[in-house]
Amino acid sequence: MAVEIKVPPLGESITEAVVGKWNKKPGDAVSADEPLVVLETDKVTIDVPAPSAGSLSSIAFKEGDKVRVGEVLGLIEAGAGAPAAKPAAAPAPAAAPAPAAEAPAPAEARSTPTARKVAEENRVDISQVKGSGAGGRVHKDDVLGQLNRPAAPAAPAQPAGPRPNAAREERVRMTPLRKRVAERLVQAQSTAAMLTTFNEVDMGEVMALRKKYNDKFQQKHGVKLGFMSFFIRASVEALKAFPQINAEIDGEDVIFKHYYDIGVAVSGSRGLVVPVVRNADKQGLAELEKSVGELGTKARNDKLALSDLQGGTFTITNGGIFGSMMSTPILNPPQTGILGMHNIVDRPVARDGQVVIRPMMYIALTYDHRLVDGREAVQFLVRVKECIEAPERLLLDV
């Protein structure tokens, strides 16, 4: 008995995916619930398990094909590794003679004289106009409607001929995740009034705190004390002081969010993703480090669920782990703020009238100027700076 392998529900508003990889080929034995095929959506990858034990008898879609929810990906012949049973081919029915193709009616017969005159004056190909009259007859209003219809968006320019260095190039189809990232970046730049402001932070106090307590912290909590937990806590304190940066524009309304779900940009196996740390204001440093670590591991192993990526209120991205000195991060719509961390560099700075060497980090806040004024953006960064340079403030809530 054949069992269908169907595309499962992919999550809210997601209707299609791309077949990323088949773990089996036709004829292979499969076990029940064994990961059979990997589907890639614009947000996550999903393992589709085998609905029953048996052997994979057929595959309906190859790797790279688009599939929709509910479509049959292939068939399993039920049984413990039973070989695929091929049904006997039924004799093909005699082909019926093809009907003679009807000659299309001439334009004069399927359009009115007035319609033809308007089409000629405006250089419209009347054979391409859909008629609203009986039998599809084209009237004057049909031609005018064609003229007033907005032009379809131009297709991306295609190469006019073979690329001169094609032998030394490789063409790879863009993944759904990368396409979605590209769409969202363009969306952010076209729908928000983005502006970025900068500040610098002396990381000396946090680094000294880590050095002093990291071993004991790790022994007690089973996780290292990193910088991200400090910046999440500092950001939450700043968001409480400046709620516009934890808000969202919805039409003519502003939605102020009285919860703090902080997205943390991490590198997954297929690119940058932004899983969300829920209720960050209710978590201590140890809980935050564990949450970030677990989400990072899931991202690298393609185990993030859609729920891990949805509903963030503010985002933090750390380009410093790759060596970035300064950048202008792009908003993650519909959020109105994103904080960029960068690398820590020993630099000469003035302290108490003397030049000293301190571990410094540039930080950046990109914000939606439609909702956030420059004053609030600058003060937000100052608040983050104060919390990092005096980390005891995070514990004393001052």
192-225 confidence digits (pLDDT tens)? 899 999 999 999 999 999 999 999 999 999 999 9
What span, in angstroms and rounded, lies between the C-alpha atoms of 160 and 180?
Answer: 27
Q: Please give the share of the chain, as a percent, with pLDDT higher than 90.
A: 44
Distance, CA of 213 to chain centre:
37
Give the chain's count of helices (H) and strands (E): 9, 19
Neighbours of 50 (CB within 10 A): 21
Residues paired with 249 in a beta bridge: 254
pTM of the model: 0.66
Q: Which tokens go with 42?
A: 């614009």
The separation between CA 62 and the C-alpha centre of its own chain, rounded to angstroms, equals 24
Cα-based angle 299, 303, 305 (whole degrees, multiple of 5): 100
- Taking the CA atoms of 134, 135, 136 and 138 in sequence, report the sign of the dihedral they define: negative
Q: Is 369 a catalytic residue?
A: yes
Q: How confident is the model at residue 82, as a pLDDT?
A: 44
C-alpha pair distances (Å), 19 with each of 40, 47, 181:
6, 10, 19
Under DSSP, is residue 217 helix (H, G, I), strand (E, B) or coil?
helix
The CA-to-CA distance between both ends of the chain, in Å, stands at 68
Higher pLDDT, 132 or 301: 301
DSSP letter, residue 335: B
Q: Which residues contact 7 (CB under 8 A, 6 or more apart)?
A: 17, 39, 48, 67, 68, 69, 70, 71, 73
Instruction: Report phi then psi at 198, rounded to 5.
Output: -125, 160
**Who contacts 307 (Cβ-Cβ below 8 Å, separation ≥6)?**
none
Separation between Cα atoms, residue 273 and residue 328, nearest integer Å: 18
- pLDDT tens track for 268-307: 776 788 999 999 999 999 999 999 999 999 988 888 887 8
Q: Which residues are CB-neighbours of 23 under 8 A, at least 6 positions away?
A: 34, 35, 36, 37, 38
User: What pLDDT is attached to residue 114?
Assistant: 72
Instruction: Check residues 77 and 338 and name the one with the higher pLDDT.
Output: 338
With vertex at residue 232, the alpha carbon angle to CA 230 and CA 235, rounded to the nearest 5 degrees, is: 105
Q: Using omega within 30 degrees of 0 as the cis cutoff, is the peptide bond preceding 334 cis?
A: yes
Residue in 272, 363, 368 with CA at minimum distance from that of residue 326: 363
pLDDT per residue over 112-121, tens digit each? 777 777 777 6
Q: Mean of the per-residue pLDDT values for the chain?
A: 84
* 391 vs 230: CA distance, rounded Å: 8
Collapsing DSSP states into helix, strand and coil, what is residue 307? Answer: helix
- How many Å apart are CA 69 and CA 72, to the nearest integer? 9
pLDDT at 176 over 80: no
Residue 267 and residue 297 in contact, taking contact as beta carbons nearer than 8 Å: no
| Longest distance between any two alpha carbons in the chain, whole Å | 99
Q: Pick the catalytic residue: 65, 141, 215, 373? A: 373
Tens digits of residue pLDDT in 6-43: 988 876 557 788 888 899 989 899 998 888 898 887 66
**Residue range 228-234: mean pLDDT, rounded:** 96
Q: Strand runs (DSSP E) across the chain, as ranges?
A: 2-6, 16-22, 29-30, 35-40, 45-49, 54-59, 66-68, 72-78, 194-202, 247-250, 253-256, 262-264, 266-268, 271-273, 276-277, 314-318, 337-341, 344-351, 354-368
> Could you tell me the CA-to-CA distances from 328 to 28, 66, 188, 239, 321 in Å, in that order?
50, 35, 13, 19, 16
Q: Which member of 47, 139, 221, 369 is catalytic? A: 369
- CB environment 90-103: b (16+ within 10 A), e (fewer): eeeeeeeeeeeeee
